[in-house]
């Protein structure tokens, strides 16, 4: 470890403009613009990469659940926090019961250029719970994430469902042709900004979604 590796001033700041989540209860996407929560109905994005993490909220403590990002939950350990307190650490299969009982959810975090207010900008998109299940089904049907890199991926509110006492809207995904100019922008941003950010201190970096 170098003398400066622990200096937070040397950390690469997030190049992402917005952090997007899907609200399954209303069937809408949401991001914070710095002043207020903004809702929208259709997500249109160019996928660049993804990571696995834990997100959620502990009602008893009144704090968010966050973790580090990993590429594989079977090869890399997770460090899950509730506020500043570590509540679980280890491989996901070993800690998932403790994660769930504390309000955490297994989450796929996507990094993409997404269309916000008519312009494609860099974002993080978190899919947890039922939305994550829909995303995984879509990935399997599409042949995996690498098959989606040459397409524009669209997501909209899907079917209304009930499971026990939970009521929610699923997600419906589709693909469209990716314009060459947008493909070039995504590749340049991924190589020049996103990967340097994601690859610094992989274990220590926690999601801000």
Q: Phi/psi zone of residue 118: left (φ > 0), alpha (ψ -120 to 50 degrees), beta?
A: left
Contact yes or no for 191/66 (Cβ under 8 A)? no
pTM for the whole thing?
Answer: 0.90
- Each residue's pLDDT, cut to its tens digit, for the chain (209 residues) gives 333 344 555 789 999 999 999 999 999 999 999 999 999 999 999 999 999 999 999 999 999 999 999 999 999 999 999 999 999 999 999 999 999 999 999 999 999 999 999 999 999 999 999 999 999 999 999 999 999 999 999 999 999 999 888 899 999 999 999 999 999 999 999 999 999 999 986 534 444 44
Containing H/E element for 7?
Answer: none
Contact yes or no for 115/185 (Cβ under 8 A)? no
E-assigned strands of 5-133? 18-23, 28-32, 37-40, 42-58, 63-67, 78-82, 85-90, 104-116, 119-128
pLDDT in tens, 18-59: 999 999 999 999 999 999 999 999 999 999 999 999 999 999
Residue 31: strand, helix, or coil: strand
Three-class DSSP labels, 150-169: CEEEEEEEEEEEEECCEEEE
Contact yes or no for 194/49 (Cβ under 8 A)? yes
């Amino acid at each position: 470890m170098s003398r400066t590796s622990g200096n937070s001033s040397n950390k690469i700041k997030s190049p992402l403009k917005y952090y997007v989540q899907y609200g399954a209860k209303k069937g809408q996407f949401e991001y914070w613009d710095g002043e207020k929560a903004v809702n929208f109905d259709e997500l249109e994005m160019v996928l660049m990469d993804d990571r696995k993490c834990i997100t959620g909220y502990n009602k008893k403590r009144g704090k968010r659940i966050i973790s580090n990002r990993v590429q594989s939950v079977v090869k890399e350990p997770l460090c899950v926090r509730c506020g500043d307190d570590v509540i679980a650490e280890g491989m996901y299969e070993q800690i998932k019961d403790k994660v769930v009982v504390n309000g955490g959810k297994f989450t796929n975090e996507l990094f993409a250029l997404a269309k916000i207010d008519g312009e494609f900008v860099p974002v993080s998109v978190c899919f947890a719970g039922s939305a994550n299940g829909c995303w995984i089904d879509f990935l399997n049907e599409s042949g995996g994430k690498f098959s989606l890199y040459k397409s524009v991926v669209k997501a909209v509110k899907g079917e209304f469902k009930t499971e026990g006492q939970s009521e929610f809207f699923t997600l419906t995904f589709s693909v469209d042709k990716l314009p060459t100019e947008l493909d070039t922008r995504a590749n340049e941003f991924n190589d020049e900004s996103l990967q340097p950010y994601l690859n610094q201190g992989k274990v220590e970096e926690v999601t801000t979604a």
